[in-house]
Structure 1
Amino acid sequence: MSANLEDARRVIAAAEKKATEIGQPMNIAVVDAGGNLVAHVRQDGAWIGSVNISINKAWTSKAFDIS
């Protein structure tokens, strides 16, 4: 599946819900089938230093075909 913006918004909403449940603000990145960034959000209180980490982890996940 190639993520489009609508898909990315659903993924981000689910991740935000989980982050709230565990009390840990997150940086959330979603990439498409080519590993290109579709969307990114940094929740209030999430570490600024983790922005690039979240984007790189999303790319790595796609590159190695893991969720």
Structure 2
Amino acid sequence: MSEEQNEIMAAAKDAKARKERARSGDKKGNGWSIGAIGLGVGVGSAAVAAALLYAGRNRGKRDDD
């Protein structure tokens, strides 16, 4: 086998490193930061609000002459 790692070997090495970090209690690189989560919630909320405003913009404005 050549010196290059294939995807399976790279994934196995990554899984082993994650397991070792979990055993040692090292929290570096685990999950999303709170800032990224807050940003995602804010953007999602703005998108929902915009969709509701867009959907309801013509309600009650019928002009039946």
Bin the TM-score by the shorter chain. Answer: 0.3 to 0.5
Task: Determine which structure has greater relative contact order: mean sequence separation of CA pairs < 8 Å that are 6+ residues apart, divided by chain length.
Answer: 1
Instruction: Report which of the two has the higher share of strand.
Output: 1
Instruction: Report which of the two has the higher share of helix.
Output: 2
Q: Could you state the TM-score of these two structures normalised by the residue count of structure 1?
A: 0.38
Q: Could you state the TM-score of these two structures normalised by the residue count of structure 2?
A: 0.39
